[in-house]
Amino acid sequence: NLFGNLIIRQGKVQANSSMKTHVFVMEEGAFGGNASIMGLLNKGRVSPGNSIGTLQIEEDFIQGPSGCLEIEVNAKGESDLVKVGGKADLAGTLRVIPKPGIYREGAKYKILEAKTAEGTFNNIENTASDIASFGVGYNPDEVVLSVTKTMYQLPRGDTMSEFSRDL
């Protein structure tokens, strides 16, 4: 266990354990992994999981205007998740990273849950707009991505799980 504050000024810290610390990610820094931390201030880049995974924040999550939250999603309905025990204060950029696959229009992905969620992302980036387009929904205690447009159509009669199982 790490106690105290972790300040990431440059480079990336990938954590996959419980750390009784507050993490401060500065503009040139990055933080990711399947970790449990006390609090997070993001002015740089945060990527939950080691591909798709969960970042647990016991207290508050603040994403500043220069911060970027990178969220991976896949066609099976899985996504990264930021779980916040306190308040999530959102700003900055949400970067959606779709994994290859055929997405179902209308599919929803919970990407953040909190005791309270305030603010909105200033920018939404999609790294694979040739696969699917996404909308962002804000609720008092969660943020949800939804597929608003797909670039591929499923054959008639096939469901997403049947079709994507072999991808």
pTM of the full structure? 0.89
pLDDT, tens digit (0-9, with 9 covering 90-100), for 109-142: 999 999 999 999 999 999 998 889 999 999 999 9
Q: Is 12 left (phi over 0), alpha (psi -120 to 50) or beta?
A: beta
**DSSP tag of 19:** -
Cα distances (angstroms) measured from residue 2 to each of 21, 23, 78, 79: 6, 11, 30, 27
How many Cβ atoms from other residues are within 10 Å of residue 82's Cβ?
24
How many Cβ atoms from other residues are within 10 Å of residue 55's Cβ?
26
Whole-number Å distance between alpha carbons of 67 and 15: 19
Whole-number Å distance between alpha carbons of 107 and 167: 18
Quote the pLDDT of residue 151. Answer: 82
Quote the pLDDT of residue 156. Answer: 53
Residue 166 has pLDDT above 60, yes or no: no
Sign of CA dihedral 53, 140, 144, 93: negative
